[in-house]
Amino acid sequence: MPLTFTLFTRDTKPPQTLSGQLLTLWTDVTNAGGAVGFVPPVTVDDIRPRAEAHLTAIAEGRTRLLAGFTPDGRLAATAFLALNDHALMRHWAWLYTVMVDPALQGRGYGADLLREAEDRARALGLEGLRLTCRGGEGLERFYASCGYKEIGRAPDALRVAPGDDRDEITMLLPLPRCD
């Protein structure tokens, strides 16, 4: 079953119902072990402040939400494109909080989401996407399989538990112009 992707911006605000679905997805992904900014166990209330900050950034025009939906309209995958306001960095964006519903993982939806993010970034005139991921999870191999290159590593930058520090890995996907 293919996903249908929608890019939400300041002009195409996410519907109120999407906020609840986003909170549920983010909670489910985290509690399934996903490296999306939290360490399990979490509740919707733990996620809410970060989700609201992202939704505020969308309303202010600084961020875009890419959402993938199942044919029955259920939120299945998300990624946030955070635009740069620095004059020297406006040609690329950060990709944050890349998530696929744990019940749907292993079906290629993560790769579909990244391809869609790449297409949307190109449509916005961007020339690159950067992201960070948590070391020790194998995420860098997944992103590399989608064309991202490791460009930096901050050793032990992320403390997921006492005595469990992980590298923060920065990856880049150049988006050459197809003129």
DSSP letters of 121-156? HHHTT--EEEEEEETTSSHHHHHHHTT-EEEEEEEE
List per-block mean pLDDT (blocks of 10 residues) for the chain, which spans 179 residues: 95 92 98 97 98 96 97 97 97 97 97 98 97 96 98 98 97 87
The whole-number pLDDT of residue 179 equals 62
Taking the C-alpha atoms of residue 21 and residue 51, their distance in angstroms, rounded to an integer, is: 11
The whole model's pTM is what? Answer: 0.96
The whole-number pLDDT of residue 112 equals 98
Instruction: Report which of 112, 126, 17, 27 is spatially closest to residue 73, judged by C-alpha positions.
Output: 17
Nearest-10 crossing angle of helices 44-59, 16-31 = 130
